[in-house]
Amino acid sequence: MVSRDFFRFNTTNTISASTDDEAILDEAVAWCDRSELLFSRVDPASELFRLNRAEGRPTDVDPELATFIETALSYCERADGLFDVTMGSATQRWDFKQQVIPAREDMAAALRHVDYRGVSVEGTTVTLRDPQACIDLGGIAKGYIADGILALLRERGVEHALVNLGGNVAVMGGKPDGTPWRVGIRKPLPSSALPLLDSFATVSVRDGSVVTSGVYERAFERDGTLYHHILDPRTGFPAQTDLLSATLVARTSLDADGLSTALIIMGADRALAFVEADPALEAVFVTTDGDVLATSGIGDAVPFELLG
């Protein structure tokens, strides 16, 4: 196995693959660079930035971006709008680093431009029917990119690999020794409060993805209220939920990434029911009371082990 650590998407990433050809890893990193030029909301050189500045005009974009937007819209529908790719007008009013909280009236104005149903894709032409709408793919792009890296490695003859895009983990082929990959589920505390690899549980996966969303990262407290980055599309403010974290285990990283945030917003009961209804998904939840909940198949199809 050879590994490559690199910084993209505002986070540290790792690719490990059963190859001695460093050029393959170069290709994987280049795929990430290309993805940023397609999907970044803030990079003026990106295709998405150009689309968001089109003021509602039908815009011909890179075919890959058009296809991905169409795919992302299907996840919005699947999550009943609790995941919405047009949240850009709302998310850009928050600054969690500088602890900027938008005014209620400003957020109400922003929410008038949030509705994924106002986006249409016809071939390579994308139209935002609301000229002030803004697409933000940050809640799903890493899943798509992780799947793309694994596909590239597979095409190059790699049989075993692990991709970790800032905690968004996708694996294939198991480990070279024949055992499954063991992916840790981090304790629901900020990165600054615990070692990077401090986990409370692990799941064993041979081929698939493990993605965790939580209210503890990119968060700050003000006057006794926790403000976290998981925004409810219905309010534009941090979701009021009884979940600290939701870890989704799926065959594809796109599924795991595209649905994990919505599960947080759903809350424990609805999230459990949602995942149980889909045989392709398993999940582990941590509630605000400190309870750990797991779906019925987690210890069978996806072995699950509590640590300590």
Q: Count the Cβ atoms, other than its own, within 10 Å of residue 42.
A: 13
Does 257 appear as a known binding residue? yes
128 C-beta neighbours (distance < 10 Å), count: 23
Phi and psi torsions of 88, nearest 5°: -55, -40
Residues 6+ apart with CB under 8 A from 245: 185, 188, 212, 213, 214, 215, 216, 264, 285, 286
SS3 129: coil
Q: Which of 218, 261, 266 is nearest to 97 (CA)?
A: 218
Give ∠ CA 180-183-185 in degrees, rounded to 5.
Answer: 150
Collapse the DSSP code of 89 into the 3-class scheme (helix H, G, I; strand E, B; otherwise coil) and give the result: helix
139 annotated binding-site participant: yes
Residues in the annotated binding site? 139, 257, 261
State the binding site for Mg(2+): 139, 257, 261
